[in-house]
Amino acid sequence: MQNVRVRTLRVFGAAAAVAAAAVLGLAAQASAGVSGPAFYADGELYRTVGTPTDLSHTGAPDRAWDVLYSFGDAQRNVAEAAPGDAGYNGGRWQVHALSFPAGYAAAVTNGDLDGDGVLDSAIEVRAAVTAGSAIDTGVVKQFECPAIPLHN
C-alpha cells in the first residue's frame, strides 16, 4: 500500500511539473507575440515580434546591421531601413541611443522635415543630429527581430 501511494505521488508530481512547464511556455510565447506599432522607418509604422535575441559583442561588422535609433520614452524608435529598401539587413539591428541636450521638442523642431510632429525617418533623425539637438551616444545593443509593415 505504501509503494502505491509513493508511486501515485510521483506520478501526480510529474504531471504537475509538466503542466506548470506548459503554462510557463505559453506565457512566454504570448509575451513574445506580434506587437502593436513599434517603430518608424521611412515615415511608416512597423510592428515586430519580440525575440529573445541579444547579438551584442558578436564581433559582426557594422555593415551586418541596420541602425535603430532609440528615443527612450520620448517617442517610438526609428529604423534606417525596412523590408524592400536596398541594403536592408533582414531585421538585424544595432541600437543607437539618442540624447537631447535641449530637450526632445528642440530635436523635433530641427528634424521634423514633414511637419507631422515626430521624427519618423532616419533622414529626420540625422537632421536633428546635424543641428545638434539630438546626440547619437553610440551602440547600446544588437539584436534581431522582424520589421512587419503596420499597413499594406
Cα–Cα dist 47/36, whole Å? 6
Q: Which residues pair with 138 in a beta bridge?
A: 97
Instruction: Give the least confident one: 47-51, 96-100, 111-115.
Output: 47-51
- The three-state secondary structure class of 135 is strand
pTM of the entire predicted model: 0.77
pLDDT tens for each residue of 40-73: 999 999 999 988 889 999 999 999 999 999 999 9
- For the chain, what are the domain ranges? 1-31, 39-149
